[in-house]
Structures are given as C-alpha cells and as structure tokens.
Amino acid sequence: MIRSKVLASVSCLFLAIGCISLPAQQQAPKADSHGIAVANMDPSVKPGDNFYEYANGDWIKRTVIPPDRAAVGVFSALADLSNKRTAALIQEAAKSHAAPGSNAAKIAAAFNSYMDEAGINAKGLAPLHPHLAAIAAISNKTELASALGETLRSDVDALNNTNFHTPNLFGMWVAPDFNNSDHYAAYLLQGGLTLPDREYYLSDNQHMRDLRAKYQTHVAAMLKLAGFSDVDARAERVVALEHAIAQTHLTLAENDDIHKANNPWKQSDFAAKAPGLDWAAYFAGAGLARQQNFIVWQPSAFTGESALVASQPLDVWKDWLSLHLIEAYASFLPKPLADERFDFFGKTLSGVTEQRPRWQNGVAVVNGLLGDAVGQIYAQKYFPPEAKAAAQAMVANIIASFRQRINALDWMAPATKAEAQAKLTTLYVGVGYPETWRDYSALEIKPDDAFGNVWRGSLFRYQHDVARIGAPVDRKEWSMTPQTVNAVNLPLQNALNFPAAILQPPFFDAKAPAAFNYGAIGSIIGHEISHTFDTEGSAFDSKGRVRNWWTDADLAHFSAATARLAAQYDTYHPFPDLAVNGKQTLAENIADISGVSAAYDGYRASLKGGAAPVQDGFSGDQQFFIAFGQNWGTKERDAALRQQVMTDSHAPAQYRADTIRNVDAWYAAFDVKPGQTLYLTPEQRVRIW
C-alpha cells in the first residue's frame, strides 16, 4: 500500500469549489416550446454582421449573472438541473438506511461530511497538522524529493483539456501508450503552479501585474490563517519560486503538439536528462520505484523544474509545499480559510461575488469522490432506453455524413481516405452511461471526516491508476459520469462519450423539428466526431497509436488550411489588450466548423428529399443555424472571460457561434452579402473536412 505523509493533490472539482467551469451557455427555452428560442433573438441585428447577437441578443440584454456565478447559460442551466437531481438522489440514499460500506451509504456519508460545517470548524486545523509537521521535518533535499514524490497524483488529462494543470511539482496521467496503444502507460506532465497558467506569472500587462500583487497578499493570508509566522516574506519567496517554475513551462499551444510530447524515458534517464532532483527518492515516494518506463510530455519543463529543486533553498520549497497543501484542502477546513480562498479565486480571479449554496458544493464533492456510484442511479432514473436509441440514431447519421464528406474530398489521396474511414469504423461511441462501473469498495468514506474523505479519495484514484500501468486498455472506458453536462473525444481510445445529462432539452428534444436537433445536439455530436480528425486527433490512427497516416501532400494541405483558421481567430479581440490565441484554440475551432458542417449534412439527409417545416417564420436551414448559434449564447464576467482566453483551448462563445461564416450554406440561409461584417469570400472561407 502506498502511504502519503505530506500532500495529496485534489482535482479542481475538490480544491476550488466555486471555481469557474468552461463557459456556460444560454438559458433553456420554456418547457412548452420545442425548437429555437425566438424570444432570445435580436432581430434588429443583421445575421451577417453579428450572428451571435442575432441569435442571442435579447437574452443577453435581459439576463443578469447571479452573484455566485462567473457565467450563465444553457450548460449552467442543465448543470443546475443535474445537481438538483443528484441532490435528490443523495437524500434518497441518506433515507434508505443502506448497508454500511454500500455505495448508497458512502454517497450519504460523503455529502453529510461536507455539509457538517460546524463539525469542520470545530476540528480546526487538526486534520492539517500531521501533514504540515511532516513538511516541517524535511531536513535535506533527498527527503524533499521523497516528499515531492508523495504529492504525485493522477490529476491531469493531457488530451481533453479539462485539467492540464496540477498544483504538485509534476502530474501523472495514465492512458493508452502513444507507441503501444493496447496497454496503459504513465505520462508525466509539468506542474507546480497555483494560478491557472504560466501567463499569469509572466505576462507584463498591468492587469496581470495587479493580479500577481493580490495573489501574493492572498498567499500571506493563507499562511497566517494556518499558523505561520513571517508570512509576508514567506509569501514573497513562494510567489518568486512559482514565477521561476512558470518560466520553465511550455505554453498551452505548445502542449498540443503530440509529436513533441512523445518522449519515452526510462527511470534511469531522469538523473541525466533532468538533474537536480533525487529521482530515486522521488519515485520511491510516489510508489513508482519499480516502474521503469514513462512518457515525459514536456522534457524542458522537467529539466527546468528539477534544476530549481537543486538551486532554491530548502525552506522555500517547504513553504511552497505547505502553501499548496493548504490551498488544496481549504474548502474542507475552517471557514476563515475557505472564505479567504474564495475571496481570491472566486472574487478576484473570476469576478464571482458570492459563494454558491453549500449543498451545490456538496454535490460536487460527492460527484468527485463517487461519480460512478451516483451516475449509476442517475442513469437508471433519468435516461430511458428510448432516449439512448434516439441519440444513437443521430450519431449514426452524422458519422455517415462524415464518411460522405471524406469520400468527396478532392485534395485527399485514396490511401489517406482509407485510414480516415478506418478511424470511423472502429470509433466507439458511448451514449448516456458506461458499460461498466467503477468499484468503490476499497474507498473508506466517513460521515464526520470531510478532509479525510477527500484525502483518501485522491489517494484511491491514484492507486487505481498506478495499478493499471502496463495493463490491457479498456477502449470502452468512460472519462465522464452520466450526470455531467458535457461531451468528450478520447483519441487514444478512438472513442466518444455523450453523458445522459447533455442529451435532453434544449440540446435534444424529441418534440422539436429535426432542423433544431441537428443544429443543437447534432453540432455537438459532430464536434466530438470531428476531434478524431483535428490537429491532435489526426496524429492517431484507428488503433490510437501515434502514427503518420497522411501522405506528404495531404498533410501539407491540412496544415495550410488549419493555419488559415488559426490566423482567422487571432484577429478576434474580446478585450483591447487581449486577443484570442488561434493556435491555442485551433483543435476546438476545427471541431466547431467540421461538426456543424457534418451535422448540416446529416440534417439534410434526414429530410430524405422532402422540405423542412417552417417554424415561427424560419426555414429549416435558418432553424438549424440559429439552434447552433443559441448553443453558445453566454453571459460572462470580464474576469472569467480573461481567464478563459488565457487558459482555455476553447474560443469565447461569440466566436464559436460566428464560425459559421466559414460554412457556405449559412450564406444562402440568411442572404449574407459582401460588406457585412462576417462576410468572407468563398476563397477566404476555411474548409477542412
């Protein structure tokens, strides 16, 4: 059994309850309407000038962001519905007098432990003291290396952009091997920062300079609340260390180059390639002393961070470890610490003025600890077989449209087309819920130990992932729970997940016209299928191996088209001093364009030559594109939008909606003319798939 004495990492879901999620979308239409939300549109705006405002303008004007939110919209509305349903399921579990050790009993205990705020306050800092004492006892760099190894957790996901950031020195991701996709491998990634990304430390604009000063004040406050002395000097040194770590990191855009990330290292290579850290002690502390093979995602960061372990004073590293421990578990410690963390990460960093109701955070805790246990009962209650069958039929139609689009490409060689078709043939599409559920029998959950539950939960996940390194890959494994309002492409498994919670109105409505459904959920389905062929997915073959299956001419054409798309997004400025990074958002932008194009083909095919019904005066094609645009209607605080632009692989919502300026059928649907703001000549429109 692996023992952790110093610091266990927790995911964003645990450590920053109330932190912002991906941009939320527009409110759902009224329950008695089926189709586009006409009341949300602003007919005074010409579609060719600002399609986003045309589709969502009146909703944006009348919507006020609640004080506990960074953004609101359809995704947040569905997430709220999922949370309410989950809370009800938790209450049912609590009333069921479930057998000790059962999933139902653990669900109830996890929720109750977090909701017992008085009990958490009464314990004070006692749960933290043994771990802070272990840090204080570190007396040399070998012991430091061991302690840093004990912090390693499987808390990053390099390809899904949901969490490419770990507060620990390094992070681990266990996934199919780049070079042997039939077995799981251990990937190691850069880490060590508390702020969302390297640019928060390195950017020289006034906004970021002010933010760093506030962050240093926050660090001092957290250390003081945890009982440290001389906190201002300690905070200054910790922030300086994180700044030095940030200088070693690759940018988000650089991280997307799969070929540069494929760096197999033997454990024996680390001392020579990344000197400064006692790697034998580090891997022993991580419980990986016998693991010989790793894939290092950012070699230069490992070299740089290891050198900092050698060059920076031991006491600074001990303060850094203490600060990261306190930050990670503040939400499960007395109220002053939790409030101080929210004041910085909620108010200052994201612009949120109030914390969410505690029960909502409690649901997040339960989902983080026991997501599959909750998901199993959620799917049984809220995702009937007919809903699954309808979604599967739409997926099949859109995959068929992709096949036709690939065959029709005049720039792609037959051999490349054959490989692309093979990826579609072997693609696994999970709809609603996974085929197998995670076993939580080894996870101990106590009704009076919120801190310990999260600590043990983090260690439980890590041990689960370590145990499967080298084991055969389960290509049908899910990375999301059924109660998650999202969808994902898993390129190393050549698989997609569409959780139950997203397969409902307003994304999917059995009573709505096909034009609406294909524009709404169909474009999301197409988006995820498109990731199979974006700048990341195109690097993998039908078995999930990193392999170049392109001819030189085909790859050159693809690269040129994607470069034009990146350049298009580089011109978008949500703020005068901050532009969208076209390269950072490129994979998602490719998926948006390709997804809506394939969904449009699927919609037209679904008509079988017939005419689409007119609704509210809008043609079928107009309904399709308006539904797509209304997917992205968002009301977002400036602070949250800045954070998204700097740290997210997704472009801001407005530019996602306006990407239809690259789709020929949109021009005909709305009679878009030269001279209008979004107009592109046929030669300027980016066409990829």
Which residue do the tokens 């069921």 mark?
Answer: 96
Q: What is the mean pLDDT of residues 489-516?
A: 92
pLDDT tens digits along 520-555: 999 999 999 999 988 888 899 998 899 999 999 999
Say if residues 256 and 586 touch (Cβ distance below 8 Å). Answer: yes
What is the percent of the chain with per-residue pLDDT over 90, rounded to a whole number?
85
pLDDT at 438: 96
Per-residue pLDDT tens digits for 271-296: 999 999 999 999 999 999 999 999 99
Query: Alpha-carbon Rg of the chain, whole angstroms?
Result: 25
Topology of the domain covering 385-432+474-670? Collagenase (Catalytic Domain) (3.40.390)
pLDDT, residue 40, reads 96
pLDDT for 308 beyond 50: yes
Between strands 428-432 and 495-499, the pairing is parallel
Q: Please identify which residue in the block is written with the tokens 């996602």.
A: 656
Q: What pLDDT, on a 0 to 100 scale, did the predictor assign at position 95?
A: 82
Nearest to 158 by CA among 268, 31, 39, 295: 295
pLDDT band, residue 163 (cuts 50/70/90): low
Query: What is the amino acid identity at position 181?
Result: S
Is residue 27's pLDDT more than 70? no
End-to-end, the C-alpha distance of the chain in Å comes to 49
Percent of the chain with pLDDT over 70: 95
Over 80: is that where the pLDDT of 161 sits?
A: no
Backbone phi, psi, residue 25, to 5° = -115, -175
Task: Compute the average pLDDT of residues 482-506.
Answer: 93
Convert 271-304 to b/e letters by CB count within 10 Å (16 or more is b): eebbebbbbbbbbbbbbbeeeeebbbbbbebbbb
* pLDDT of 12 over the 80 cut: no
Residue recorded with tokens 């739409």:
394
pLDDT reading at 20 higher than 90: no
Mean per-residue pLDDT over the chain, rounded: 92
What confidence tier does 96 reach under pLDDT thresholds 50, 70, 90? confident
pLDDT higher than threshold 70 for residue 618: yes
pLDDT for 23: 36
Band (pLDDT 50/70/90 cuts) for residue 77 is confident
The 10s digit of each residue's pLDDT in 389-437 is 989 999 999 999 999 999 999 999 999 999 999 999 999 999 999 999 9
Helix (H) or strand (E) holding 247: helix 231-248
Structural tokens at position 683 = 């030669």
CA distance 126 to 76: 36
Within 13 Å of residue 141, how many CA atoms lie on the same side as its CB? 13
pLDDT tens for each residue of 220-230:
999 999 999 99
Pairwise CA distance, residues 480 & 353, whole Å: 29
- Any residues with CB less than 8 A from the CB of 15 and at least 6 apart, and which? 167, 327, 328, 329, 330, 331
Residue with tokens 């699927």: 602
Length reported for the chain: 689
What would the two tokens of residue 638 be? 């400036």
pLDDT attached to residue 93: 86
**pLDDT for the residue numbered 32:** 58
Q: Tell me which residue of 633, 453, 636, 590 sits closest to 59, measured CA to CA.
A: 633
Q: Which helix (H) or strand (E) segment is 400 a member of? A: helix 385-408
Residue 647, pLDDT above cutoff 50:
yes
Unique residue bearing structure tokens 């095919």 = 605
Residue 261 near residue 297, CB atoms below 8 Å: yes
Q: What is the pLDDT of residue 337?
A: 98
Report domain extents, the chain. 385-432+474-670
- Between 377 and 3, whose confidence is greater? 377
Q: Between the CA of residue 572 and those of 578, 580, 599, what are the distances in Å?
A: 9, 6, 25
Task: Name which of 32-46, 102-116, 180-194 the model is least confident about.
Answer: 32-46
Instruction: Kindly tell me if the per-residue pLDDT of 253 is higher than 90.
Output: no
pLDDT value of position 150 = 98
Angle in degrees, 0-180, between the axes of helices 450-467 and 314-329, rounded to the nearest 10: 110
